[in-house]
Amino acid sequence: MKALLVEDDENDAALLRGLFKRQAGIDIELDHVTSLEAAVNRLAIDVPEIVLLDLNLPDSSGLNSAQAIQNANPDVPIVVLSGHDDEDFAIEILNHGVQDYLVKWEGNARTILRAIRYAIERKRSEQHLNYLAHFDRLTGLANRQHFHDQIEKAIARAKRAKRRLALFFIDLDNFKIVNDTLGHDAGDKVLVSAGKKLEQCTRAGDMIARLGGDEFAVLVEDVGELRDAEAIGYNLLHALSDLTEVDGRPISVTASVGIAIFPTDNCNVGALLKNADIAMYQAKENGRNGLRFFTEEMHSELLNYHRTENDIRKAIDLQQFHLEFQPKIDLESHELCGLEALLRWNHPVRGRIAPMDFIPIAESSGHIVPLGYWIIEQACKHLQAWQQLGIAVPQISVNVSAPQFQQPDFHRKVRAILEQTGATPELLEFELTEGLLMEDTDSAQGCLQRLKSIGLRLAIDDFGTGHSCLSYLRRFPIDVLKIDKSFVSDIGKSSDGEAICAAIISMAQNLNLETVAEGIETQEQLAFLHGHGCNIGQGFLFSKPVRADQLQDLFPGAIHSDSIKSIGDTTRIRLLEGVCK
């Protein structure tokens, strides 16, 4: 038997060793250390069957010594060796999970050995009781009480890290029939197999529990998107629906899964479990073998995601998309100096869907990549068509999202589109958001450089809303900063907003960048921006985004007219007249 003796008194150690040696038939391998630190280090490498512990050590004393050993290895039994006989203290220390208390020099090798054996036995039964209190005997999974504690801890972690948890409540659909027709043994086997399937289809950190009967639960920490939780839910359903072989006969069980999300669906353990349970019942009512989120909003959000994703896929071929163009006005010359192409979707059933309601879905589903090439191509074709009509369009800008920009062959495809359509690269501008550039600055710099070498102009859109690092602005080959419309709308309302606009403009001037202010709606905003040296304006004050055919009427006047001398109302009326023709 291997024992670790933690004893700083060499004489006491020698005494004990002597005792064991003299007694025939005792086979104890004594490993001796003289400090708590050495003991803890030893436990990290090697686990003895027993620790014989003197509480008063050079680097620790009393209960602390015992607790440090327990922390180092909660599974090892401890017998305390004390220099004096103090019954009260003995009881206290036994209450703290130490298995026995012996007074040194009392007793012989035999009694000490018996104490060691009892201590080991006592530890074993404590562990067994502990196991029974925390785990389900049939499946070996956490029981309800233990799961409850685990959720509580996970919630605390999630709060600190500001993360989302997903709780899956799982109920087997036809378990009762199996139990009633094939008997309890078969039922047990189905439950054990369900537990195993859940273990196999989850990741190492996920917590699985059997809550009772045919109810199981899984807790997953750090779920990013709702869709991730959904995917996990379907994995669970899929895994459970695999056939189970019981006594040579295949049995099919399906399950219903309810999902609750922390913190959306509640922040306390009991309510979270209850909400997941309610969601599970809804899944059952929906026809079983399915899953359901607790909140209606979440469920419809997800349905909407899938429906929209599906519809986007078809919408290009069905020609449901078109571009609209919003004029940009040179604030000095008051002339039209460019257009921003904005995507529009006319859905045959749902009507016009706003970009904010479908672009993010196109981005996360990847559909933005083909759609993005289509947008660039359309913009180039329009450029060409106008030029052939003799209309000199000064410049056209297109919004580019991260997944497009991150395609390794993006620049090549863009070049190919320019060649095919014959559009002049210098007239095409890409608007990129700060976040996109800051994600991976090195590769972003490479991408920007390649686009720049084609001849494109590059703008940072919604500037000021992300976390830009100014030193990168210098490194990136950028031509334009677009001041986000949230700052523009603050002009006249908040001095902070005004200060930000003024700071962006002056910074851009220092870096030799052009500034475009987007979302100009009032004369006051216009005057402020122009007064601070902003170069270009865009917004409802001048014109809303309009269809290409409405724009054509507007070009000659807007570009060549001497009549637009004053910006503001006149320009807008002029532009709107064009639009309304």
Q: Which residues bind ligand C2E (CB under 6 A)?
A: 326, 342-343, 354-356, 359, 375, 399-401, 431, 461-462, 485, 518-521, 539-540, 545
Q: Could you tell which of Mg ion, ligand C2E, none binds residue 54, using a CB distance below 5 to 8 A set by kind?
A: none
Which residue, 124 or 322, has its beta carbon nearer to ligand C2E?
A: 322
For the bound state, the minimum distance from the C-beta of residue 487 to ligand C2E, rounded and expressed in Å, comes to 12
CB of 514 to ligand C2E, least distance (A): 16
- Shortest CB 521 distance to Mg ion, Å: 14
Helix axis angle, 87-95 relative to 63-72, nearest 10°? 20
Q: Give all strands (DSSP E) within 288-350, no chain letters.
A: 291-293, 321-330, 336-347
Cβ partners under 8 Å of residue 579, min gap 6: 543, 544, 546, 550, 551, 553, 554
Find the shortest distance in angstroms from Cβ 342 to ligand C2E: 4
- Closer to ligand C2E by Cβ: residue 234 or 540: 540
Burial (CB < 10 A; 0-12, 13-18, 19+), residue 75, is exposed
Residue 545 near which of ligand C2E, Mg ion, none (CB within 5-8 Å, type-dependent):
ligand C2E
| 3-state SS, residue 285 | helix
Encoded one letter per residue, x for contact with Mg ion by CB under 5 A and - for no contact, window 222-251 reads ------------------------------
Cα–chain center distance at 163: 7
| C-beta closer to ligand C2E: residue 66 or 343 | 343
Residue with smaller CB distance to Mg ion, 204 or 356: 356
**Is-contact 280 168, C-beta < 8 A?**
no
Instruction: Return the number of the residue (298 or 343) whose C-beta is nearest ligand C2E.
Output: 343
- Two tokens, residue 319: 């020609």
Contact indicator for 54, 33 with CB cutoff of 8 Å: no
Nearer to Mg ion, 465 or 509 (CB): 465
Kindly tell me which of 429 and 431 has the beta carbon lying closer to ligand C2E.
431
Q: Which does 375 bind (CB under 5 to 8 A by kind): ligand C2E, Mg ion, none?
A: ligand C2E
| Residues in 410-439 at the binding interface with Mg ion, rule: CB under 5 A | 431
- Burial of 391 (C-beta count, 10 Å sphere; 0-12/13-18/19+): middle
Q: Is 533 helix (H, G, I), strand (E, B) or coil?
A: coil
When binding is defined by CB under 5 A, the residue of 136, 171, 462, 498 that contacts Mg ion is 462
From Mg ion, ligand C2E, none, interface partner of 359 (C-beta below 5 to 8 A by class): ligand C2E
Angstrom distance (rounded) from CA 14 to CA 5 = 11
Q: Are 294 and 259 in contact (CB under 8 A)?
A: yes
Residues 6+ apart with CB under 8 A from 358: 308, 312, 345
Q: Which partner, ligand C2E, Mg ion, none, binds residue 143 by CB below 5 to 8 Å per kind? A: none
Find the part of the chain contacting Mg ion (CB under 5 A) among 417-425, 462-470, 539-547, 550-558. Answer: 462-470
Closest of 171, 157, 143 to residue 262, by C-alpha: 157
Q: Choose the contact partner of 377 out of ligand C2E, Mg ion, none; CB within 5 to 8 A by kind.
A: none
State which of positions 516-535 bind Mg ion (CB under 5 A). Answer: 518
Which option in ligand C2E, Mg ion, none does residue 355 bind, with CB closer than 5 to 8 A by kind? ligand C2E
Q: Is the dihedral of CA 50, 52, 53, 57 positive or negative?
A: negative
User: Closer to ligand C2E at the Cβ: 233 or 568?
Assistant: 568
Indicate whether 399 belongs to the interface with Mg ion (CB under 5 A). Answer: yes
For ligand C2E, which is the closer residue by CB, 81 or 536?
Answer: 536
From first CA to last CA, the distance across the chain in angstroms is: 99
- Is 378 a binder of Mg ion (CB under 5 A)? no
Query: What does the alpha-carbon distance between residue 161 and residue 71 come to, in Å, rounded to a whole number?
Result: 25
Stretch that binds Mg ion, among 4-12, 46-54, 290-298, 511-519 (CB under 5 A): 511-519
Peptide bond into 327 cis (omega under 30): no
3-state secondary structure of 388: helix
Do residues 534 and 483 make contact, with C-beta atoms less than 8 angstroms apart? yes
Q: How far is the CB of 308 from ligand C2E (least distance, A)?
A: 14
Give the nearer residue to ligand C2E in terms of CB position, either 77 or 537. 537
Residue 461 makes contact with Mg ion by CB under 5 A: yes
Question: Minimum distance between the CB of residue 389 and Mg ion, rounded to whole angstroms?
Answer: 26
Binding-site ranges for Mg ion (CB under 5 A): 399, 431, 461-462, 518
